[in-house]
Amino acid sequence: MFRFELETTDPTGARAGRFVTAHGAVETPIFMPVGTAASVKTMTPADLMGLGAQIILANTYHLFLRPGHERIRALGGLHRFMAWDGPILTDSGGYQVFSLAERRTIDADGVTFRSHLDGSEQRLTPESAVAVQEALGSDILMCLDECPPSGTAPAEIGRSLDLTHAWAARCKEAHGDHPGALFGIVQGGVYQELRRASVAALTAIGFPGYAIGGLSVGEPPAVMYRVAGQTCAVLPVDRPRYLMGVGKPEDLVEAVARGVDMFDCVLPTRNGRNGMLFTRRGPLVIRNAEYADDDRPVDEECACYTCRTFSRAYLRHLCKAGEITGLRLNTLHNLHYYLALMNSMRGAIVRGLFGEFRRQFYAERGESPPPPES
């Protein structure tokens, strides 16, 4: 059922495309709001549809532990469970497991870890990671991979790649011809040759799409941009490219410029709940005293419900008073900003004007674009 069509490539290298799943089509480049526990925090499915969200992400690790994938399967699958009719991408749970350094043990067959909820011992293998995602009814599934921490030595990353590639082959075999598209995950740290080796190994196995993992884990932005660009340069042109866990608005712009198609990140929702609002001129911290009497909207050119209806002063009041409505309004604005940003980038790519869009993006923020990589 899954297919990807590359519609056009801008002279900068930015791409516009479209992929089709059993639950609908998605136009790229695209940002996926994060619904960790089958919920994008403070948002309803109707809110997300109204904002123009085309696809959302859910977290395999969290749903595996609570309420359990078999329970969700028995209740009709994740789409019915959370009343979201559009496509859903699920991660493999690997990143969450590997972040629990003191709670897990890795072996050739998989990972044993202790739940952060109750300390119970759990086991995740390539086969079970796929089985959990199939039970959820995911439209896009991710292979189980190992994500080495930032600063890992090249020799250790090389050993980790062997495990990631072996697990990818097992994931593909376990998935077989079940519904949903299984994506491989490219690792390799910040090292170009290791990234090339990972791409070669994964494309030899063959997947309908490829994710770029192991970035946005502490490396400088310039390094992330360089590695993302180098990786995209050797990935298949006719498959979607997904940069996992990224990021800030400028990260999205720079990654799109280097050929990335798909993104997810908790920043718009998490930062919204903490009072940081994204605007064309850069982030705005609404709890600051300077907004106590500010009757302007967050962004005078933003068309979201929050900006059409409420002042900065009111949003600051909600934030200082701890009102739940403030979390909701901030999140709604931030998601609108991110989704509108992606839509604007797509329009610029289709018109062959992405370079001008990128210059204008930085000009509105009073910044200069990052210099090109050497």
> Which of the residues are catalytic?
91, 264
Amino acid, single-letter form, for residue 322? G
Which residues are 183's β-sheet partners? 142
**Residue 242 tokens, joined:** 């997904």
Q: Are 219 and 247 in contact (CB under 8 A)?
A: no
121-124 β-sheet, strand order: 104-106, 111-114, 121-124
**Residue 68 tokens, joined:** 């359990």
